[in-house]
Amino acid sequence: MCFFYNIPNQKETSGYNHPSIQKVFQNPENLSQLVNRPALGVHPTPQFIKQINQTLMPIAPKGLEYVQPMMCGSCSNENAFKAICIWHANKNRNGKAFTEEELKSSLYNQAPGCPTVSIMSFEGGFHGRTFGALSCTHSKAIHKLDIPSFDWPIAPFPRYKYPLEENQRENQKEDEKCLARIEELFHEYKSKQNPVVGVVVEPIQSEGGDYHGSATFFQRLQKLIKKSQLVNRPALGVHPTPQFIKQINQTLLPIAPKGLEYIQPMMCGSCSNENAFKAICIWHANKNRDGKAFTEEELKSSLYNQAPGCPTVSIMSFEGGFHGRTFGALSCTHSKAIHKLDIPSFDWPIAPFPRYKYPLEENQRENQKEDERCLARIEELFHEYKSKQNPVVGVVVEPIQSEGGDYHGSATFFQRLQKLIKKNNAALLIDEVQTGLGATGKFWAHEHFNLPESPDLVSFSKKFQTGGYFAKSEFQPKQPYRIFNTWMGEPAKMLVLDAILKTVKQENLIENTKKTGDVLLTGLKNLNQKYPQLFYNIRGLGTFCAFDMPNASVRDKFLVQMRNAGIQMGACGDVAVRFRPALIFAEKHANIVLDKMNEVAKKF
């Protein structure tokens, strides 16, 4: 790396200090875009579409007319892998629709919905630290140790002799050797029913040792590579600034869930969960090593996605759960088949999550039996996966299954779940990406459960503007670069979070959410009594409320009519309508929504 320091009596500018870049931040409109973080996936702004057309499209590599914006290198590569898998499956379908078997099987990480296909990568390559990208990363063993990997082929990358002009014959033979092995791998993985659907390669293997491939090598490999770069974004993973450390201490640590003293900043919900999974796997392996150093066999085998370096261990998740769209998180996601179709998944256990009858007070006995059913199956899964040499090392669960249909678990369910997890020497990760920061009437939704002890890890993102996870100190790896990416958060978003947290405290917004939630829930129950054929299964904590409708067709028609009446509402699960208002949503706003719902319901 090269660094530039301030040299006395020298006025030259470079990098982020260049006047052309400073000018960008002097424009108030630009500053607003840098500070605010719109949910572009749901509501892309006209300005952003304009930025894509004016900034990204003109630099598109020749022949590539489609751009998919992402946050960081890992999720860019992960989603590119997914695009390849989907493209491959669509070719095989020949324009036909998904089958019912594909849709159903994908929710359980099974074929044909989640097929066995592979991405080829190269020895020494580096493509990121999330599960899919990490399966294609082979530069340093410390990045991969203790993390499960896909069985994907790893090809040799040329290692040339220098000077090039004096070693042309030897280097040509090196190209031939590598290309021959690549051809073999295509055939090998096709014959083992794990066909290669994509190849990922760097023009220069940066992390692996700055190894170059010749133009001839890349021409014959026929692979285009694309990289994009963000402006004015410090590489906090490599050079954390004093200001950022201060932001962590003053902004993030004061909101840490009780008992969790370690914070790992990240960018989004998917990478927060992925890296929490990795922390769990590393923690489990460290316990088994009992303080001993890595063996040479572990180090070498991890670079080839093999045991013992990359062990067969699993993360348990729940039917209907949603934890992200990268390979590891997607293996724990079971809410909508369209998220998972055509993407390979890990063989990780999927447990049932309670489906209660409402009103709760009238169905206590039935719901208690539902808890018992789910907990019994969870215990069985621990034993089943242990017996098949794929032990469960962690369990990830949402306090409320948001994307899957706003399903709730009782405090008793979560208390007993934690005891079961502890009994089986696994870790509990609570995913608060959707529920964190006050929407349920408490800062963290899991505070409603009065758990016997703190969860082991809690992930967060969305309303927090940034991402990451809190954890007990034992989940902090001892070696550097094991939980890592270039950015590790973003200072600009921390400034916004700090302002949000101050506003929440000054305006007592969590108490407001609790009171408004009571009004909203009472109003929904009244609508249920008035229109029992339309609204039922009324449920919620704070303003994090939902209800079910007879079927998806009726639900979608209702949402359109509400939108036409001036109220934007969201769907989730098969038949649910969910409320996700801002924390400033007050009782008067709740009454407006309830009145509009009543008006629309009269038309059904």
The number of domains in the chain is: 3
Angle, helices 491-506 vs 509-530, to 10°: value is 70
- Percent of the chain with pLDDT strictly greater than 70: 93
Q: Is it the case that residue 2 has pLDDT exceeding 60?
A: no
List the strands of the sheet with 350-351, edge to edge. Answer: 262-266, 467-471, 457-460, 427-431, 392-397, 314-318, 350-351
Number of H helices, E strands in the chain: 21, 18
Confidence of residue 6 (pLDDT cuts 50, 70, 90): very low
| Gap between the Cα atoms of 579 and 570, Å rounded | 7
Amino acid at 312: T
Listed residues 505, 531, 546: the one ending a domain: 505
Residue 35: what pLDDT? Answer: 65
Cα(327)–Cα(74) distance, integer angstroms: 11
Task: Please check whether residues 569 and 446 belong to one and the same domain.
Answer: no
| Backbone φ and ψ of 114, nearest 5° | -110, 90
* Residue 137 forms part of a structural domain: no
Instruction: Flag whether 371 is in a domain.
Output: no
Cα–Cα dist 207/382, whole Å: 38
* 597 and 458 in a common domain: no
Does 119 map to a domain?
A: no
Residue 322 is among the residues annotated as catalytic for this protein: yes
| Domain final residue, candidates 69, 100, 122 | 69
Segment 4-32 shows an average pLDDT of 60
Q: pLDDT band at residue 19, thresholds of 50, 70 and 90?
A: confident
What CATH code is carried by the domain that includes residue 529?
3.90.1150.10
- From the candidates 442, 462, 463, 493, give the one annotated as an active-site residue: 462
400-401 and 407-408 strand pairing: antiparallel
Q: Can 462 be counted among the known catalytic residues?
A: yes
Do 571 and 459 share a structural domain? Answer: no
Q: Is 466 a catalytic residue?
A: no
Q: What CATH number is given to the structural domain containing 326?
A: 3.40.640.10
Q: Are residues 501 and 550 in the same domain?
A: no
- Domain shared by 302 and 433, yes or no: yes
- Both 251 and 322 in a single domain? yes
Count other C-beta atoms under 10 Å from residue 175's C-beta. Answer: 18
pLDDT of residue 32: 66
Query: In this predicted model, what pLDDT tens digit does every residue of 248-282 receive, in sequence order?
Result: 999 999 999 999 999 999 988 899 999 999 999 99
Average pLDDT over every residue of 426-453: 97
Whether residue 555 contacts residue 577, with contact meaning beta carbons closer than 8 Å, is answered with yes
**Residue-level pLDDT at 92:** 85
Nearest of 496, 467, 582 to residue 36 by alpha carbon: 496
Within this chain, do residues 261 and 283 fall inside the same structural domain, yes or no?
yes
* Residue among 322, 346, 414, 558 flagged as catalytic: 322
Residue tagged active-site, from 116, 312, 412, 486:
486
Sorting pLDDT into bands at 50, 70 and 90, what band is 231? Answer: very low
Q: Are residues 469 and 581 in the same domain?
A: no
Residue 557 belongs to domain spanning: 509-601
Specify if 480 maps to a domain.
yes
Residue 595 in any domain: the answer is yes
Q: Looking at 146, 371, 406, 431, which residue is catalytic? A: 431
Peptide bond into 254 cis (omega under 30): no
Q: Are strands 350-351 and 211-212 parallel, antiparallel or unpaired?
A: unpaired
- 494-518 residue pLDDT tens: 888 999 999 999 999 999 999 999 9
Question: Looking at the domain assignment, is residue 522 inside a domain?
Answer: yes
**In-domain check, residue 562:** yes
Predicted TM-score of the model (pTM) = 0.77
Where is the domain boundary, 464, 490, 505?
Answer: 505
Residue 7, domain member (yes or no): yes
Indicate if 501 and 555 belong to the same structural domain.
no
Is residue 13 scored above 60 in pLDDT?
A: no
> Do the beta carbons of residue 310 and residue 301 sit within 8 Å?
yes
Across the chain, mean pLDDT equals 90
Q: What string of DSSP letters covers 101-164?
A: HHHHHHTTT-TTTS---EEEEETT----SSHHHHTT--S-HHHHTT-------EE------SSG
Kindly report, residue by residue over 516-561, the tens digit of the pLDDT: 999 999 999 999 999 999 999 999 999 999 999 999 999 999 999 9
Instruction: Show Cβ contacts of residue 129 under 8 Å, excluding neighbours closer than 6 positions.
Output: 74, 137, 143, 274, 275, 278, 483, 484, 485
Instruction: Examine the domain organization and report whether 417 and 566 are in the same domain.
Output: no
Structure confidence at residue 225 (pLDDT): 25
pLDDT band at 91 (very low <50, low <70, confident <90, very high): confident
**Do 530 and 410 reside in the same domain of the chain?**
no
Q: Closest Cα partner for 123 from 197, 192, 207, 198?
A: 207
Higher model confidence: residue 247 or residue 393?
A: 393
- Assess whether 415 and 280 both reside in one domain: yes
Q: How far apart are CA 509 and CA 542, in angstroms?
A: 11
CA torsion sign for 378, 384, 387, 388 is negative
The yes-or-no verdict on residue 157 having pLDDT over 90 is: yes
